[in-house]
């Protein structure tokens, strides 16, 4: 029940489970020191009995889950990781490109998918890595949405954090996400600005 934005989704006792047939191939390259790694891969998925939400014929605010036929998606992914960069920085980034996401039956684009998406994170340690800080960004291009529904525009979510290791098994971490408080009640990103403070305590038990 999503009455806060004006619609409701009901169940369907005749719903059939989706069946997935997929293939993936790729290559991973790393240095002997493991300070640098790169991975690239491609994927193809075919889905039978695809599940989606369809509007009720009597009320445009009511939706139900339904099998709508067959679909296929295809694309590629790239991932890079590097440590021991100049200045003591480390970085991790991944990117997904999915140009094909269509219904096999009628050739229409599948809803709730994006062609481009990615995430990048940069970290820096201080004081023999007892203090670690980071910033990150998560992004995607405009998402395909069902006809007649609100748009799902592109976004980039910013985050940051810091961790202090008081001892080998004691640490305090502050993680902040969606710093710009970007929200879209229908399609995301959700939630808005949020911060989490955590304390971690560890202990080893021996004989």
For residue range 74-90, list pLDDT tens digits in order: 999 999 999 988 888 99
- 161 forms bridges with which residues in the sheet? 134, 175
Over residues 153-173, mean pLDDT: 91
User: If you write DSSP's letter for every residue of 29-87 in order, what string do you get?
Assistant: EE-TTSSEEEEEEEEEEEEES-EEEEE-SS-TTEEEEEE---EEEEEEEEEEEE-S-GG
Q: Is 140 exposed, middle or buried (0-12, 13-18, 19+ CB in 10 A)?
A: buried
Mean pLDDT of 147-170: 89
- Residue located via tokens 């096999």: 104
Residues 6+ apart with CB under 8 A from 47: 18, 19, 20, 21, 70, 71, 72, 73
- pLDDT at residue 206 in the model: 61
If pLDDT is split at 50, 70 and 90, which confidence band does 204 have? low
pLDDT band with cut points at 50, 70 and 90 for residue 156: very high
Kindly report, residue by residue over 86-127, the tens digit of the pLDDT: 888 999 999 999 999 998 888 888 888 999 999 999 999 998
Continuous H helices in the chain: none
Query: Of all helices (H) and strands (E), which one includes residue 195?
Result: strand 194-201
Say what the pLDDT of residue 129 is: 82
**Is the pLDDT assigned to residue 160 strictly greater than 90?**
yes
Highest mean pLDDT among 48-52, 67-71, 103-107, 121-125: 121-125
pLDDT for 182 beyond 80: yes
Tracing tokens 């694309």 back to the chain, one arrives at 75
Confidence of residue 205 (pLDDT cuts 50, 70, 90): low
Q: What is the mean pLDDT of residues 172-177?
A: 96
Task: Classify residue 113 by burial, with Cβ atoms within 10 Å: 0-12, 13-18, 19+.
Answer: buried
The chain-wide mean pLDDT, for the chain, equals 90
What pLDDT does residue 8 have?
Answer: 84
Range from 42-51, 59-68, 111-120 carrying the lowest mean pLDDT:
59-68
Instruction: Encode burial over 159-178: b for 16+ CB neighbours within 10 A, e otherwise.
Output: bebebebeeeeebeeebbbb
Tokens of 42: 């491609």
| Distance, CA of 139 to CA of 111 (rounded, Å) | 18
């Amino acid at each position: 029940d999503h009455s806060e934005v004006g619609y409701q989704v009901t169940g369907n006792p005749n719903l059939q489970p989706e069946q997935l047939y997929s293939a993936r191939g790729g290559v991973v390259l790393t240095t002997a020191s493991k300070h640098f790694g790169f991975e690239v891969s491609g994927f193809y998925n075919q889905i039978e009995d695809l599940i989606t939400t369809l509007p009720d014929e009597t009320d445009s605010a009511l939706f139900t889950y339904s099998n709508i036929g067959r679909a296929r998606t295809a694309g590629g992914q790239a991932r890079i990781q590097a440590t021991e960069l100049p200045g003591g920085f480390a970085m991790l980034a991944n990117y997904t490109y999915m140009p094909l996401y269509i219904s096999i039956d009628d050739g229409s684009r599948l809803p709730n998918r994006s062609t481009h998406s990615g995430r990048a994170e940069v970290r820096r340690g201080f004081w023999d890595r007892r203090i670690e800080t980071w910033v990150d960004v998560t992004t995607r291009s405009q998402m395909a949405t069902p006809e007649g529904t609100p748009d799902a525009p592109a976004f980039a979510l910013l985050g940051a954090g810091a961790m202090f290791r008081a001892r080998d098994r004691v640490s305090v971490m502050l993680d902040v996400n969606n710093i710009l408080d970007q929200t879209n009640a229908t399609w995301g990103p959700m939630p808005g600005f949020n911060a989490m403070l955590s304390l971690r305590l560890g202990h080893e038990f021996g004989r």
